[in-house]
Amino acid sequence: MDTGNPGPSSINELKSQLDLHKLSFKDFDSIVLTHLHTDHSGGVSEILKEVDLPVYVHENAEWTITGGINEFKRTNEFFYSFMEECGADPREHMAIRTYREENWGNVSYIRDKDTLPMAGISFEVLYVPGHSQTDIVLWDPKTGITFGGDLLIADFSVNPFVEPPPPGMENRPKSLLQYRHSLERVKNLPLGTIYPGHGEPFMNHIELIERRLAEQENRCFNIQECLLSGEKNVYELCGMVYPRLHGRMIFLGLSQIQGHLDLMETRNMVEGYNKGPVRYYKLVL
Ligand SMILES: [Zn+2]
C-alpha cells in the first residue's frame, strides 16, 4: 500500500524495511495507492521495473495516468490561472513540475463501495475526496482495521489541496467542502485501528475528526478578522494568516485559505468578486 517518493533513496529505504521482515517486492501481489500524490505513488515505476504487479487506484486518477503531456499542460495552466486569481505571481510562487512519461502497465481503477481482497481480508473501499481528488480509505468492517491514506493524520491537519476540475469541466472542486463531507461520512463508521499515510497508527478517529472540524472553524474566524479591515485577495490573506510561508510553499497557504473562503461563501459570511484576473473577498455584513 503506497510506494513513497520517486527516486532511489525512497525505494532503498522501502527495501531495507522489507528486508527486516524478510520480504521483497516478489512477495507482493498488487500495489494499492491511497491517492495519487507523489509521496505515495512516486515509487510505482521503480517497483514495476523489478516486478510485474497490478496497480489499484481510484478511478479519478485515470485522466492523470493516461492523459500524458496534454493533461500535464492542462494542469499547469490551471495552477497558473489559480495563482493569478489569488493575486500571487505565478513566476515566483508556482511549483515547477517536470513531465515524466510513466507507463504503469496493468492499472485497475476502483471506486466507492468496491471490495478489494488483501491478505485474505475483504477490504471495503471508501472514496473520501478533499485532500486530493483520488483519496480512498480501505477498511475491514469485521475488525475495523483501516488504511487511512492522508484522510486523517494524528499529528497535523491535512491540507485540502486545490486541484483542477476533471477534463471538460469548468469549475475546480471545492476541496475543503469535499473534505468535510468525507470526514463526516467516516466519523459515523465503527473504524478501529487506523494505519495512516504518515505517522503512527491511532484509534479514536471520532475525537480527531471533531478536533479537525473545530480547527476549521478557528481558521474561518481568523480569516473573518483579517477581512474586518476591508476586502482582500487570497494571497493577501495568506500573508496575514501564514506570514512565514514564502516562495513555492505559498501554494500550501493559498489552498487552505481558498478552501476556507469556499466554506465561508456557502455560509454567506463572505462574498467573492473579480477585479480583472484577481478574485477579492469581503465580509457580508
Ligand atoms: Zn497526500
Q: Enter the C-alpha cell of residue 255.
A: 489552498
Predicted confidence (pLDDT) per residue in 94-121, tens digit = 888 888 888 898 999 999 999 999 989 9
Residue 283 and residue 228 in contact, taking contact as beta carbons nearer than 8 Å: yes
196 confidence band (pLDDT: 50, 70, 90): very high
For the chain, the first-to-last Cα distance in angstroms comes to: 49
User: For residue 105, what pLDDT is reported?
Assistant: 87
143 confidence band (pLDDT: 50, 70, 90): very high
Q: Which element (helix H / strand E) includes 263?
A: helix 250-266
Predicted confidence (pLDDT) per residue in 64-105, tens digit = 999 999 999 999 999 999 999 999 999 999 888 888 888 898
Task: Give the mean pLDDT of 164-189.
Answer: 97
Q: Enter the C-alpha cell of residue 260.
A: 476556507
Our separate counts of H helices and E strands in the chain read 10, 11
Q: Which residues surround ligand 1, an ion (CB under 5 A)?
A: 37, 150
Distance (Å) from CA 275 to ligand 1 centroid: 33
Share of the chain above pLDDT 70, in %: 100
Distance (Å) from CA 215 to ligand 1 centroid: 19
Triad 215, 217, 223: Cα angle to 5°: 105
Distance (Å) from CA 7 to ligand 1 centroid: 18
Distance (Å) from CA 196 to ligand 1 centroid: 11
Closest CA to 80 of 196, 14, 198, 164: 164
Task: Give the mean pLDDT of 165-181.
Answer: 97
Q: How many Cα atoms sit within 13 Å of 282 on the Cβ side? A: 8
Task: Give the mean pLDDT of 121-142.
Answer: 97
Q: How far apart are CA 70 and CA 221, in angstroms?
A: 40
Q: Which element (helix H / strand E) includes 224?
A: helix 205-227
Distance (Å) from CA 37 to ligand 1 centroid: 5
Find the range with the poorest average confidence among 96-105, 118-127, 162-171.
96-105
User: For residue 256, what pLDDT is reported?
Assistant: 97
Distance (Å) from CA 132 to ligand 1 centroid: 7
Task: Give the mean pLDDT of 224-232.
Answer: 98
Given a cut of 90, whether residue 129 has pLDDT beyond it is: yes
Cα Rg for the chain, rounded, in angstroms? 20
Distance (Å) from CA 134 to ligand 1 centroid: 10
Q: Which element (helix H / strand E) includes 12?
A: helix 8-20
Pairing mode, if any, of strands 232-233 and 136-139?
unpaired
Given a cut of 90, whether residue 146 has pLDDT beyond it is: yes
Distance (Å) from CA 86 to ligand 1 centroid: 22
Distance (Å) from CA 213 to ligand 1 centroid: 19
Domains for the chain: give ranges and CATH numbers: 8-219 (3.60.15.10)
Closest CA to 32 of 50, 6, 58: 58
Distance (Å) from CA 135 to ligand 1 centroid: 8
Q: Enter the C-alpha cell of residue 98.
A: 517536470
Distance (Å) from CA 163 to ligand 1 centroid: 12
Distance (Å) from CA 283 to ligand 1 centroid: 32
Whether the predicted model's global pTM rises above the 0.85 cut: yes
Task: Work out whether the CA dihedral 227, 171, 161, 125 comes out positive or negative.
Answer: positive
Distance (Å) from CA 95 to ligand 1 centroid: 16
Distance (Å) from CA 75 to ligand 1 centroid: 17
Q: How many Cα atoms sit within 13 Å of 136 on the Cβ side? A: 27
Distance (Å) from CA 92 to ligand 1 centroid: 23
Q: How far apart are CA 233 and CA 250, in angstroms?
A: 14
285 confidence band (pLDDT: 50, 70, 90): confident
161 confidence band (pLDDT: 50, 70, 90): very high
Find the range with the poorest average confidence among 119-123, 205-209, 266-270.
119-123
Distance (Å) from CA 41 to ligand 1 centroid: 10
User: For residue 101, what pLDDT is reported?
Assistant: 81
Task: Give the mean pLDDT of 158-178.
Answer: 96
Distance (Å) from CA 150 to ligand 1 centroid: 5
User: For residue 18, what pLDDT is reported?
Assistant: 95
